[in-house]
Amino acid sequence: MSVPTKIWLGLCLLAASPALFAQHAPSDSVVAAMRQELDRSMQDLRRTPAPPYFLSYEITDNRAINVTAAFGTLISTTDETTRVLDLDLRVGDYKLDSSHPFRQDTFSEPMQERLESPQIPLNDDPLALRVALWQSTEQHYRHAVERLQQVQANVQVKVAQEDQSPDFSAEPAHVYSEPIADFALDKPAWQQKLRGATKPFADHKEILEANAQLDAEVETRRYVNSEGSEIRMSTPFYRLIIWATAKADDGMELPLYHTYMSFRPDGLPNDAALSADVNKMIVMLLALIKAPVADPYTGPAILSGRASGVFFHEIFGHRIEGQRQKNEDDAQTFKRKVNQPVLPNFLSVYSDPTLRQLRHTELLGYYAFDDEGVPSRRVTVVQNGVLQNFLMSRTPITGFDRSNGHGRHQQGYAVAARQSNLIVESSKSVSRDELKRMLIEQVKAANKPYGLFFDDIEGGFTFTERIIPNAFNVRPTVVYRVYPDGREELVRGVDLIGTPLTSFSKIVATDDHEEVFNGVCGADSGWVPVSASAPGMLISQIEVQRKEKSQERAPLLPPPPASAGNN
């Protein structure tokens, strides 16, 4: 599932590059304390009856500033600093260890002790850090020993697992260090900017919600493991989201979003650009209120590049995440499709977390190393329609025994294979006008009264488990009917739905206008930043259903007059 976020600067790291950085790595007292305590813990635990074979520490520092305004008024300003520890301790061996998933005939799993993260000191005092690491290591070790016993019993009483690959892959050690990133924000200036950006919404009683939120943060991640890896990455991030919701007379709520993202505060739009975008949002919201409600429909449609990016992220990207091919509760849509066609032969797909920028758009899914100490790398997933690869963490699957740098997680969650920058390319591109002409031909051939054009989108979700239908729901915000005479009519209230294999088989052609969707995706390993890029696509048959709507009426009273003032 994805929610909007937006936009970064081209850098490609080769596998050999960490060693070059290591030669000039600055000293880091936190990394040194992590290494000392990890080595001491491994040495002491080797004398136990069930010694761990792998241990890693990851400490993530985050400084986050948030400024929020609504209808010309400052709502909140926060400035928070956090430090979080993630620890991976494995007892057993690479083939079978304490992380091995239980297989049950019900949804239940043996009751597990909840491992609470210890308080990690914000200062860099080595002894205080090592005490916190020691306490957490002790707790995780006891838990891992107990869980391995449960795993071994579970394996004995269940049928043989279909995928016999190991639980963990051995990977080379890497040493890599980035300087701590500069981070600065002029909070008073941004407070004024957001107040000014949201003030025009207050003139329209139909608009019930109108917020602008700036999230500025710098994340510094330090990682060490028992294989010898030592990694420090530090990345600043500035994201501005403007969202507004109008309400139609029938109760339907109509949201719009505009998101900007940069690694630099001066990479965000200036006041004039914000004002222009806000005015466009207001015009569109007022038009949506008056637009007719779309009926359930099946037939040809065009997805803009942004909509296609979300479409592929949701219904394709999650199905190429490696560990899903091993989970026997998962539908495993593509598990047996390697070296077979899964998309039209004019489409290729790759995932490339080394990209910080695609053309002129910054990419949110960039990182130099994943959360298991593996260098990021480009992975060709589909070449000319044929499936070549999966996105892999250090959890192997049959035929893919190594990580390709896609082990990711939100702090506090276990790592899993996740998407990064998903790029869809086409060798069958036409102009936007030609793609519309082809849509009209499809409409006429199918004897439909109109086709649909999905221009903008807020996100979506999908299901991949066997117990429920493997369907998806992509939630557009701006949709047009396209009539056989070329006329376009704005409509509201539709969700794009369907099933993956049928939808992929209906892609007919693409345009030559690629767009990027930057977002935050929530799945098994928490929320992680992602990007998706794709051209506009003509699909010969899609299905839409009506969107849910509130039963509450629109406001009866107009808003206070502008002369009342906004602070």
Cα distance between residue 90 and residue 355, in whole Å: 32
- 549 pLDDT more than 80: no
pLDDT at 167 over 90: yes
**237, 518 in Cβ contact below 8 A?**
no
Pick 406 or 310 by higher pLDDT: 406
C-alpha pair distances (Å), 225 with each of 92, 165, 332, 395, 560: 17, 22, 31, 16, 60
Share above pLDDT 70 across residues of the chain, in percent, rounded to a whole number: 87
Q: What is the pLDDT of residues 346-367, one digit of tens each?
A: 999 999 999 999 988 999 999 9
What is the rounded distance in angstroms from the CA atom of residue 37 to the CA atom of residue 43? 10
Q: How many helices (H) and strands (E) does the chain have?
A: 8, 23
Q: Write the pLDDT tens digit of every residue in 111-134.
A: 444 567 678 999 999 999 999 999
d(CA 357, CA 215): 20
Query: Can you say whether residue 447 is alpha, beta or left, with left for phi > 0 and alpha for psi between -120 and 50 degrees?
Result: left
Residues 6+ apart with CB under 8 A from 560: none
Query: For residue 475, which of 284, 322, 255 has the smallest C-alpha distance?
Result: 255
**Residue found under tokens 């004995």:** 156
pLDDT of residue 285: 96
Buried b (16+ CB within 10 A) or exposed e, 428-451: ebbeeeebbebbbebbeeeebebb
C-beta separation of 516 from 531 below 8 A: yes
In angstroms, rounded to a whole number, what is the distance separating the alpha carbons of residues 543 and 130?
A: 56
Provide the pLDDT for residue 390.
96
Pairing of strands 253-262, 297-303: unpaired
Structure letter (DSSP) for residue 359: T
Distance CA 533, CA 548 (A): 28
Vertex 259: Cα angle to 455 and 406 (nearest 5): 95
- Cα–Cα distance for residue pair 521/505, rounded to 1 Å: 25
Tell me the torsion sign for CA atoms 152, 373, 409, 350. Answer: negative
Tokens representing 186 are: 């002029």
505 sits in which H/E element:
helix 500-505
Higher-pLDDT residue of 451 and 495 is: 451
- Banded pLDDT at 27 (limits 50, 70, 90): confident
Per-domain boundaries in the chain: 2-290, 297-546
Pairing state between β 451-462 and 297-303? parallel
Q: Please name which of 372, 376, 373, 370 lies closest in space to residue 353, comparing C-alpha atoms.
A: 376
In angstroms, the CA 226 to CA 90 distance is 11
Report d(CA 166, CA 402) in Å as an integer: 10
**What is the third-level CATH fold of 2-290?**
PmbA/TldD fold (3.30.2290)
- Range in 132-136, 161-165, 258-262, 327-331 the model is least confident about: 327-331
Which position has the token pair 């015009």? Answer: 283
Spatial separation of the C-alpha atoms in residues 16 and 204, rounded to whole Å: 57
- Average pLDDT on 33-48 reads 97
Interatomic CA distance for residues 10 and 30, integer angstroms: 29
Q: Once rounded to an integer, what is the mean pLDDT over residues 270-294?
A: 96
Tell whether the model's pLDDT for residue 214 goes beyond 70. yes
Where do we find the tokens 């010969």? Answer: 540
Does the pLDDT value for residue 475 go beyond 70?
Answer: yes
Alpha-carbon gap, residue 509 to 438, rounded angstroms: 9
* Predicted structure pTM score: 0.87
- Which residue has tokens 């890497």? 174
Alpha-helix runs per DSSP H in 361-487 = 432-445
Q: What is the pLDDT of residue 460?
A: 67
pLDDT at 550: 63
The pLDDT of residue 474: 76
State the pLDDT at residue 142.
Answer: 96
- What pLDDT, on a 0 to 100 scale, did the predictor assign at position 56? 98
Give 239's Cβ-side CA count (13 Å radius): 22
DSSP annotation of 291: S
Task: State residue 36 phi and psi, 5-degree precision.
Answer: -60, -45
pLDDT tens digits for range 493-534: 998 887 777 888 899 999 999 999 888 888 889 999 999 999
97-106, 134-143, 252-261, 537-546, range with the lowest pLDDT: 97-106
Q: Does pLDDT of 489 surpass 90?
A: yes
Mean pLDDT, residues 286-304 taken together: 95
223 has which bridge partners? 58, 231
